[in-house]
Structure 1
Amino acid sequence: MPARPAPPVRASVVITTYNWPQALQRALEALARQRTLPHEVIVADDGSGDDTRALIETTARDYPVPLRHSWIEDRGFRVALARNRAIAASSGDYVLLLDGDMLAHPRFVDDHLRAARRGSFVQGMRVLTDEQGCARLLSGDVTSLGFFDPGLGRRRHTLRVPALAALSLRLSRGQSDRAIKTCNQGWWRDDLVALNGFDERFEGWGREDKDLAVRAFHAGLQRRSLRFAGLATHLYHRERHEEGGSPNDALLADTHASGRIRSPQGLDRHLAEFAQRPLPDLTQAFADAP
């Protein structure tokens, strides 16, 4: 008897946001245009106000996949907690981490699923915009910017070349936490559960992403860098942090020194909650409304 084909991998997109609904709107629109649609999109909201909630509810009325909103109280930068709660609420096999100021290429999900391999996580890249490029994308006049368009930085990251992407993945395995950015990453959900997700002791800007990667390396996972595919464009904004140090540097140093794999305060705090009461699918809620 021939073996049954493996079921398709379901991708849950966890997209962070904080009080920039205009950017989030464009990011959600980009995900709705995916050639391969995600299994669901979960907005990991770090305490935004009513404008963001209204935008998500309006978007959900005709969204092509389940759209969920995971909100936490605004008590400063707590993106580790916000992401953990969204991951706990997810039901896909593979989790794509994306920021709410990142506009995904139409093949973003497809490329990440092609790159997914057991024993590794995938680090994607980002195209940078300046104020001019950001304004064009936020206006809605264009949905993307190409290599020759004004208003871009890191233009090489606009190029989607699947053959080069496959080559870059083969050559880029390693255990460096340099250039780790959770604005564009792919993880097997069960690996995140094994690592206990992000360390929620990391509050204030910085290092929670590197901490997750370092603990993954301690667990034997490899980083694979995805270039020339899995493209996403970052909308320009002034940085919300000081360049250089972070209040979390000491925590990260301890992770390096200790060999720790699981975060001491992480994902397992939320798994039971969402297993018992799943996060509502706002798209379905509107479909069921009289």
Structure 2
Amino acid sequence: MKIDTSIVISTYNSPEWLEKVLIGYNNQTYRQFEIVIADDGSGKETFDLIEELSNKVFYKIQHIWHEDNGFQKSQILNKAIVACTTDYILMSDGDCIPRQDFVEQHVKYREEGFFISGGYFMLPMNISKLITEEDINEGKCFDVAWLKHHGLKSSFKNNKLTASGFKAAFLNYVTPTNASWNGHNASGWKKDIIAINGFDERMQYGGQDRELGERLFNYGVKSKQIRYSAVCVHLDHKRGYKNQDSIDKNLQIRKETKEEKKVWTDFGIIKK
């Protein structure tokens, strides 16, 4: 079986969530992929988990790690991009459990000259905690009836879990949400990401994924919207790394990228 897709999963000291995510990938209908974990400085518990799961799952895991130096997700993502062994890269996070057809949908819609934009379905903390390996294997955590039984409220957003076929395609088409590069659910060609020099490593929390997508647009890559087709559920967590200074700095970088139609960053994979 030829591996043709690399899945980059970002994580930082969240082994409980990462375990659920990696179990999700062990249930995929499309299996021709490797997992590349972009680890922003996790401790021993994460190392032990990855070693344990490497002996249980069908796919190969690369664990790309650097020392903890605060929120440096852009840096570790660039290292993970370089480590990917295939031509196509799917990116998600270590708190997003993929539905069984998640990778299949990205592979189905991939096309030269495009990147793919997906979304996520946010779960509250109580449900995030109670999901077991069995619930993931049996697909219960994607079942609206099961989720409602455990307290999920009715919402139009529930269509992300229930839509399929024509309805999913229609909702992908009419959604007002931009088909941007979303770090939790996006994919594209490695050669395109390398051509724009990957992520801007000046950027910490807040929009570094969007800025990558904006440079891909400037490079001439278009996007496809599949938020109702490629489904992952997002496990709740605190965001202690979120701060306004970082967000403001990143907004300024994004403004320059748009106004100057920048394709390349001098602060990416290749440094001046």
Work out whether the TM-score is over 0.5.
Answer: yes
Distance 2:190 2:230 in 1: 18
| Aligned match for 2:144, one of 144, 147, 155 | 147
CA contact (8 A) 1:173 1:222 kept: no
Residue 229 (structure 1) aligns with: 229
1:213 maps to a residue whose letter is G
| Aligned match for 1:158, one of 155, 158, 161 | 161
Shift in Å, 1:180: 4.7
Residue 96 (structure 2) aligns with: 102
Aligned identity (percent) is 27
CA contact (8 A) 2:36 2:64 kept: yes
Q: Tell whether 2:252 aligns with 1:259.
A: no
TM superposition score normalised by structure 2:
0.87
Distance 1:130 1:207 in 2: 23
CA contact (8 A) 1:198 1:267 kept: yes
Q: Tell whether 2:19 aligns with 1:25.
A: yes
Residue 216 (structure 2) aligns with: 216
CA contact (8 A) 2:172 2:226 kept: yes
User: C-alpha deviations, 1:78-132, integer Å up to 9, x for none?
Assistant: 1111111111000112111010000000111101100112211111111110122
CA contact (8 A) 2:182 2:209 kept: yes
Residue 199 (structure 2) aligns with: 198
CA contact (8 A) 1:124 1:185 kept: yes
Aligned counterparts, 1:116-127, within 5 A? 116-127=110-121
Quick one: structure 1 residues 52 and 266, their matched pair in 2 at CA, closer, same or farther if it must change by over 3 Å? same
**Alignment RMSD (CA, Å):** 2.5
Quick one: structure 1 residues 173 and 145, their matched pair in 2 at CA, closer, same or farther if it must change by over 3 Å? closer
Distance 2:158 2:226 in 1: 15
Moved more, 147-156 or 27-36: 147-156
Aligned counterparts, 1:11-160, within 5 A? 11-137=5-131, 139-143=132-136, 144-148=141-145, 149-150=147-148, 151-152=151-152, 154-160=157-163
SS in 2 for 1:253: helix
Shift in Å, 1:9: 7.6
Shift in Å, 1:165: 4.0
SS in 1 for 2:91: strand
TM superposition score normalised by structure 1:
0.82
Shift in Å, 1:11: 1.1
Distance 1:196 1:213 in 2: 12
Moved more, 49-58 or 232-241: 232-241
2:258 maps to a residue whose letter is H
Shift in Å, 1:8: 7.5
Residue 186 (structure 1) aligns with: 187
Shift in Å, 1:157: 1.2
Distance 1:246 1:255 in 2: 14
Shift in Å, 1:163: 3.1
Shift in Å, 1:69: 0.1
Moved more, 212-221 or 140-149: 140-149
CA contact (8 A) 1:207 1:246 kept: no
SS in 2 for 1:155: helix
Structure 2: segments with no counterpart, 5+ residues: none
